[in-house]
Amino acid sequence: MNTEEKDITEEVSDEATASQEEIVETVELTETEKLQAEVAELKDKFLRLQAEFDNFRRRTAKERLDLIGTASKDLVSTLIPVLDDFERATKTMETATDMDAIKEGVGLVYSKFYKILEAKGLKPMNSTGQAFNPEIHEAITQIPAPSDDLKGKVVDEVEKGYYLNDTVVRFAKVVIGA
């Protein structure tokens, strides 16, 4: 092989090496561009998801406030007829002479009021004769127990306690036997 042929062979070999390097660079650029595009897409998805979550949080907070307002509105609207009945009973008491009719009317209003509260989940506590429980009872005083079996138990109930859907809303004020 002469010098000219060697030069041509070296030139071809240099061109092949250069084109291989260009191909590698092109492949690397293509992979980099793909990865950058994927990163940009994931970043966009993340930002959208974060915005959607913030909107969800605001919406649920607003719904919670609306629910609280609606719950009291519901209770008040069911109690308005009882208020009307009490107003009629008060007017009737001013002019009525028949006490039995007044007692019956007040008893009916009480019954209606109690049924409405019961329908909303209110239940009275039965405390008399039960063992004292500081989680539902509030001890007012202690008295000597009338019998040995009433020691440490509720002897008298000064003020009735109530549950609202199995949650204590008012503790029973009780007298305990000592």
Note the pLDDT of residue 33. 85
pLDDT at 71 (0 to 100): 73
Residue 100 inside a domain? The answer is no
Range of the domain at 144: 122-178
Distance CA 48, CA 42 (A): 10
Both tokens assigned to 104: 């019956």
Structure tokens belonging to residue 11 = 């030139």
**In terms of pLDDT, which residue wins out, 11 or 47?**
47
pLDDT digits (tens, 9 = 90+) for 16-51: 565 666 666 676 668 888 889 999 999 999 999 999
Residues 106-162 have pLDDT tens digits of 888 899 989 988 888 889 988 888 888 888 888 898 888 777 777 888 888 888 889
pLDDT at 6: 61
161 inside domain: yes
The answer to whether residue 63 scores a pLDDT higher than 70 is yes
76-109 pLDDT per residue, tens: 888 888 888 888 888 888 887 788 888 888 888 8
The pLDDT, as a whole number, for residue 92 is: 82
Q: Where are the alpha helices (DSSP H) in 96-153?
A: 99-119
With a cut of 60, say whether residue 12 has pLDDT above it.
Answer: no
Number of domains in the chain: 1
Look at residue 83 and tell me if it is in a domain: no
Phi, psi angle pair for 67, to nearest 5°: -65, -40
Does residue 4 lie within any of the structural domains? no
In a domain, 92, yes or no: no
3-class secondary structure, 133: coil
In a domain, 148, yes or no: yes
Query: In this structure, is residue 132 part of a structural domain?
Result: yes
Which CATH number fits the domain that encloses residue 130? 2.30.22.10
Domain assignment present for residue 171? The answer is yes
Please tell me the predicted confidence (pLDDT) of residue 42. 95
| Mean pLDDT, rounded, for 170-177 | 88
Question: In the prediction, which pLDDT does 7 show?
Answer: 57
**Per-residue pLDDT at 59 exceeds 90:** yes
Counting other chains too, the contacts that 109-117 makes at CB distance below 8 Å and 24 or more residues apart are 109/82, 109/85, 112/81, 112/82, 112/85, 113/79, 113/82, 116/78, 116/79, 116/82
Residue range 154-173, pLDDT digits in tens: 888 888 889 988 888 889 89
